[in-house]
Amino acid sequence: MKAYVFPGQGAQFVGMGKNLFETSDLARKMFEQANEILGFRITDIMFEGTNDDLKQTKVTQPSVFLHAVVLAATLGNEFMPDMVAGHSLGEFSALVAAKALSFEDGLRLVSIRALAMQKACEIAPSSMAAILGLDDEKVKLVCRSIDDIVVPANYNSPGQLVISGSARGILLACEQLKAAGARRALPLNVGGAFHSPLMEPARVELSEAIMQTPITQPLCPVYQNATARKTTNPDQIKENLIAQLTAPVLWKQTVENMIADGASHFTEVGPGNVLQGLILKINNSVSVSGA
């Protein structure tokens, strides 16, 4: 069975989508539509901007989303998924590609999400860190022992778990996790504590927009970050999308469930190839490719 997966924030690069714009009438139409919806020419930043330009929150998330959904659309009849999933932001791309969410509504929600997350990041100093080479349970135990906000945020692959929390909590956790045997504890260059309780203001703001947005039954099961389980129920999809901002991304568990349900080939749709590498670390018996 074929699974299609969609990357999240961090996959962006200058020049992303330019070839699609230049070679596909459909892509060009969608890119110009996105410029109109967002109220600025995001394509200029994606194609010709600087890395710093592309790192702006209001640009980064819509850019990754836009590249992925346009690429999926240009695949035409080749895009025949038995199941889909997206990593964090990529979940919105997956829902649009699977026809549960319109392109226009998806882009609006991603823009609202990006700005709401940026506002939440500015409330208090916060950060994330990648913990390598330590058992997930050990990481969770250390996080729980810290007398500040620090939680598991991204279960990416065996031996790779990203934690999220207050600046002080992350600092203390990194020290204790290295002492507990972590091979590395790497602070990440991010604006704040994504997928943690510190995103609660953004969750509240985004939930209002999601509840007002039409979501229909997708053309195939969607595996969502907050549960790692498949669903085709529009109400459940909305609940999981809202929960996603403060819940951990259960990527490892999601991929394991997709494989258990019959996925044998994974195609990554969007910029970069990070998800392909993670999937092979989770289970190297499957095949992976980029779209």
Most distant CA atoms of the chain, gap in Å: 55
pLDDT, tens digit (0-9, with 9 covering 90-100), for 11-49: 899 999 999 999 999 999 999 999 999 999 999 999 999
Task: Say whether 195 is catalytic.
Answer: yes
Instruction: Give pLDDT tens digits for 225-247.
Output: 999 999 999 999 999 999 999 99
pLDDT for the residue numbered 85: 98
**Which residues are CB-neighbours of 256 under 8 A, at least 6 positions away?**
228, 282, 283
pTM for this prediction:
0.95
What whole-number distance in Å separates Cα of residue 205 and Cα of residue 165? Answer: 20
For the segment 176-226, what is each residue's pLDDT rounded down to a tens digit? 999 999 999 999 888 889 999 999 999 999 999 999 999 999 999 999 999
24 catalytically annotated: no
Question: Measuring CA to CA, which residue among 169, 36, 40, 52 is closest to residue 104?
Answer: 36
Q: Which one is catalytic: 63, 93, 127, 195?
A: 195
Q: In terms of Cα–Cα distance, which of 42, 112, 30, 11 is closest to 71?
A: 30
| Catalytic residue selected from 63, 67, 87, 88 | 88
Question: Residue 83: which H helix or E strand, with range?
Answer: strand 83-86
Domains and CATH numbers, the chain: 2-121+197-290 (3.40.366.10), 126-187 (3.30.70.250)
